[in-house]
Amino acid sequence: MPASLDRLSKVLKEFGEYLNRKQLAPKKTQPHLVRWARDFLRFAGKYRGLSFEEAMASYLQDLGKRQEIKDWQVRQAADALRIYRYQFRAEKPGAESPPAPPPGTEEDQLARFRQVLRLRRYSDRTEKTYLQWTRRFMEYRKSAGGQASSLPSEADLKNFLTRLALVDKISASTQNQAFNSLLLFFRDVLRQDLSAMNKTVRAKRGARLPEVLSPAEVQAVLSEIEDRTYQLMARLCYGAGLRLNELLNLRVKDFDFDTGLVYIRSGKGDKDRTSVLPKALYDSLRSHLENVKQMHTQDLAQGHGETVLPDALIRKYPKAGKEWPWQYAFPMKKLSVDPASGVIRRYRVLEKTFQMAFRRAVQKAKLSKRASVHTLRHSFATHLLMDGVDIRRIQELLGHKNVETTMVYTHVVRNLSPPVVSPLDRMVMGKEAKRDG
């Protein structure tokens, strides 16, 4: 038996004995945990450049794609690997080889961080934000006299966060965003333990109420949007309570006119959900989609018409990109070249273009409130609550993980309710009514 296989068998045997000795799992389950560890170690052997966390994320992702593997088996495999890494190997002196040194240059570190974010399946927006904070942190170290050749330290991070709060005067939520970005960077790229950072004072965000428009104000803004497509998008955003990205990423197949539902795919937190499709939009939506279909037919005739699809989907269905149901519901009016692939496509409407059109409408409506596209989502939830819709149902429509997040709209409703009449005013009004009578 080769030395590597002999060593693997010895480690797995010790892992099984460890599970039994520590009573970390029922005896009938222990062999399955050992088997998951064995399969993972063989898998990780093909990707020696990855950290344990990166290899584990990639392995579990690959495991979840296998049709014969159930969800509970993926969870069991994840448990087995966590026990193996953070309990068995941590307690076994000399069993773990020293971690590979992190990449030396800042560009190498950023490239490694981008790989980590993608293995963890963070959204493109989150990836961009986290990388921006990391670059900003690196620039701060240079300005503060730090050596680019040396690794950042926990003290560098503390100083940077302090500067953000006391000098740059950023908000608490932005400071927490920077902290979360750099915490992941230190842990998974630089391999530095920042457990002490959890004991430091974190910025706390005070209670904030969302800006909400009244139904009359919503109507005033919608009527000021000149472009018919943008007006339809704004009406759908308000009528279904969609986030901006959820609206822009809708495909033709996501509208179900028979059931009155709109399907939101890979929303915040990479979760799918449904929301109500307003009946008032049926005719205008059908007319709009018919125009989009004509554009798609023309694109196909010119040798184009292939839309952007996730990598896994395009590998599974190579021809799906040109099929009508997969086209964006709100595409751009002009074709453009995809910088990543060089393919000529019709991309979805750009965020900034729609936001600018909405901002102009708010100005024309002469509102005294600051309103953005996201304000329509807040207004949707508040107006449903005012109509007596159950808070749990609103939570589902909005896609909130916790009902506490949805509860903020109860405070808004309270503010929009008729003001409380003082008992003294009632007394005076009662006397006046008797005198007039």
Residues identified as active-site: 243, 268, 374, 377, 400, 409
15 vs 88: CA distance, rounded Å: 7
273 vs 397: CA distance, rounded Å: 8
DSSP state of 230: H
Q: Strand pairing of 336-337 and 344-345?
A: antiparallel
Residue from 294, 293, 299, 303 nearest 251 by CA:
293
62 vs 352: CA distance, rounded Å: 36
Would you tell me how many other CB atoms lie within 10 Å of the CB of residue 281?
Answer: 18
310 vs 313: CA distance, rounded Å: 5
13 vs 173: CA distance, rounded Å: 48
Check if the beta carbon of residue 309 is closer than 8 Å to that of residue 338: no
381 vs 378: CA distance, rounded Å: 5
Residue 99 has phi, psi (to 5 degrees) of -65, 150
325 Cβ partners below 8 Å, 6+ apart? 251, 252, 253
Collapsing DSSP states into helix, strand and coil, what is residue 263? strand
| Amino acid occupying residue 335 | L
Burial of 376 (0-12, 13-18, 19+ CB in 10 A): buried
Burial of 32 (0-12, 13-18, 19+ CB in 10 A): middle
Six token digits for residue 28? 């009938």
